[in-house]
Structure 1
Amino acid sequence: MSGMKDNKKLIMYLAKNDFKTRFAGSYFGVIWGFIQPLVTILLYWFVFQLALKAGPVANTDIPFVLWLMAGLVPWFFFSEAVINGTNCFMEYNYLVKKVMFEIKILPLVKVLSSLYVHVFFVGVLIIAYAVAGYFPGIIVIQVIYYSASMVALSLAISYLTASVAVFFKDTTQIVGIFMQIGVWMTPIMWVFSDMIARVSNHSEMLGKVVSVILKLNPMFYIVQGYRDTMIDGVWFVQRPGMTLYFWAFVAVMLLISRKVYGKLKPHFSDVL
């Protein structure tokens, strides 16, 4: 038991230290971790609502900026967690070479480090909805479930990408490209139902195919979940099919990651 407690303390210490050192040397320090996502939200709000004059989202009276925030907040965490997790073994190579150090905690350290900013922005999200008169009520606690789901997904992916990145350095760049594509493939800045309706106008079969393909993206479940919580009042148990698929995806990814990590781990110190 004491070993488990020591591990938890070490993980939390490393996560906190990682978050701080990421901005070490800059004048504003960790404040940059909160400013950058905030500026991104304001930029998208300016482009879509002011420049392109996007009104309230169809079938709701929710202001576009609130609808947008509910999609961007989880994506910020997922993108940062996976990208940073991919680099963890290379960044902490001096720890990887230590025989007695349990390097399997490093991806978890990176994911938890990203959680600091996420918790802050979840708070901002809830306050923004409350101030605007759209507080969702008790269902807001469901954000905890979807945040935990994202942690599990990020870890499942990070163990795989971090293990491969030790031997194939271009993995970091590839993951970055996937994140750039993913933000547009996930219904964050566009309405899923509107997209499918437009495609179905040309071909009903094509609309069904596109719908299935887009839903295969596990972040579709998370973004939909945040909007279910903040806007639509839908509990995750009311989406059993999507919930089952998401956790099956996470479980399969964890099995693959564990196998790859187990095979490559003995050679980490030789490459690093």
Structure 2
Amino acid sequence: MIRIPEWLTACFEHREIIVQLTKRDLVAQYKSSRLGMMWAVIEPFSFMLLIAIVLDVGLQAGSHLNVPFVAFLLSGMSVYLVAAGVLEKGARLIIQYAFLLNKVNFRVSLLPLVAILSNTINHFLTLLPVVIILLYFKIFPNWFWFQTLYYLVCLLILLLGCTWFVSALCVIAPDFVNVVGIFTRFLLYLSPVFWDISVFPEWSHLIIMSNPFYYIIAGYRDSLLFHVGFWHHPWLTLYFWLFTGAMLVVGALVFRKFKPVFSDYV
């Protein structure tokens, strides 16, 4: 299995390579457009805003909430876009960087950091217009906003395990790339991006909260909109970290199992 202390040491030793690969990934996304990285803000924000307007104005989706639905949706959607971006990029990660497989001095298990870091940068850029929208609705910054950093760390650690898992399987079984795409679409509707848990009967709440992304999306809203600390949900926090720990172990085991044969498939 991937030993975390050794892996963290390798992260530090290869930090320059990781940074260069992340820059390369970001440049590759926008090199053919004149606006460049401005699209990292324009594209996701316009998508989020369009959905918010359609659901709020057209379907009155947020009529039961105590906060503006646009603010409710954008705070949750910003988390989803990171998760979807990392998983979809992670599915093609080993194939994209196949030239690194035979590099003796580079640990291939570090590659998920490229997908995670590039999407995290996009996430911070996307949050800028989200904050402007919150200010427009007179939702002003307070100390709880810093709690989003905790939930972001939760998200990135969960995605690390997930990316080890999907990147390995997508090399061995290329059709799994399409499965990941389908999963990210299901994730949009199965996670509380568009809806609040209160609209569902109480018996279903435990089922809904078993989705680890619920913890993070609800946590972002608790931080930005409702001013609730994560310590108010001790059992949900414990469950999330147990699930995330298990995902890290499973992802590391799968990645290590198939790593010796990666070069035979790419």
The answer to whether the superposition gives a TM-score over 0.5 is yes
| Letter of the 2:230 counterpart | F
Matches within 5 A, 1:116-195: 116-195=121-200
The whole-number CA distance in structure 1 between the counterparts of 2:41 and 2:141 is: 24
Partner of 2:51: 44
Give the 3-state SS of the residue equivalent to 2:115 in structure 1: helix
Cα-to-partner distance string for 1:249-270 (whole Å, 9 max, x where unaligned): 1100111111111111011111
Q: Distance in 2 between matches of 1:172 and 1:89?
A: 12
Cα distance, 1:157 vs structure 2: 0.2
Residue 191 of structure 1 and its aligned partner are, at CA, apart by 1.8
Give 1:92-111 correspondences, 5 Å limit.
92-111=97-116
Letter in 2 for 1:247: W
Kept after mapping to 1: 8 A contact 2:40/2:126: no
Deviation at 1:2, TM superposition (A): 9.9
> How far did residue 56 of structure 1 move?
4.5
Alignment partner, residue 245 of structure 1: 239
Change (3 A) 1:223 1:113: same
- Count of residues in correspondence between the two structures: 259
Instruction: Quote the sequence identity (%).
Output: 30
Work out the CA distance in 1 between the residues paired with 2:107 and 2:12. Answer: 14
User: Paired residue for 1:261, among 232, 242, 255?
Assistant: 255
CA contact (8 A) 2:40 2:125 kept: no
Whether 1:26 aligns to 2:33 is: yes
What TM-score, normalized to structure 2? 0.91
Partner Cα distance (1:3, 1:54) in 2: 47
Instruction: Give how far 1:156 is off.
Output: 0.9
Alpha-carbon shift at residue 175 of structure 1 (Å): 0.9
Q: Given that residues 157 and 253 in structure 1 are in contact (C-alpha distance below 8 angstroms), is that contact kept between their aligned partners in structure 2?
A: yes
Contact 1:142 1:229 in 2 (8 A): yes
Distance change in 2, residues 1:242/1:82 (3 Å): same
Displacement of 1:57 in angstroms is 4.0
Unpaired runs of 5+ residues, structure 1, are 197-206
Moved more, 23-32 or 156-165: 23-32
How far apart in 1 are the matches of 2:87 and 2:137?
A: 32
Cα displacement string for residues 162-214 of structure 1 (whole angstroms, at most 9, x for unaligned residues): 01111101111101111111111111111211122xxxxxxxxxx41x22221
RMSD: 1.9
Q: Secondary structure at the match of 1:187?
A: coil
Matched residue SS, 1:109: helix
8 Å CA contact 1:218, 1:249 repeated in 2: yes
Per the normalisation by structure 1, the TM-score is 0.89
Query: Which residues in structure 2 correspond to 1:174-253 (within 5 Å)?
Result: 174-196=179-201, 207-208=202-203, 210-253=204-247
* C-alpha displacement of 1:101: 2.4
Tell me by how many angstroms 1:113 deviates: 0.8
2:117 corresponds to: 112
Relative contact order, higher structure (CA 8 A, sep 6+) = 2
The runs of 5 or more residues in structure 2 that have no matched partner are: 1-7
Moved more, 256-265 or 11-20: 11-20
- State the distance in 1 between where 2:219 and 2:109 align: 29
- Whole-angstrom CA distance in 2 between matches of 1:6 and 1:163: 23
Question: Which residue type is aligned with residue 48 of structure 2?
Answer: I
Equivalent in the alignment of 1:200: none
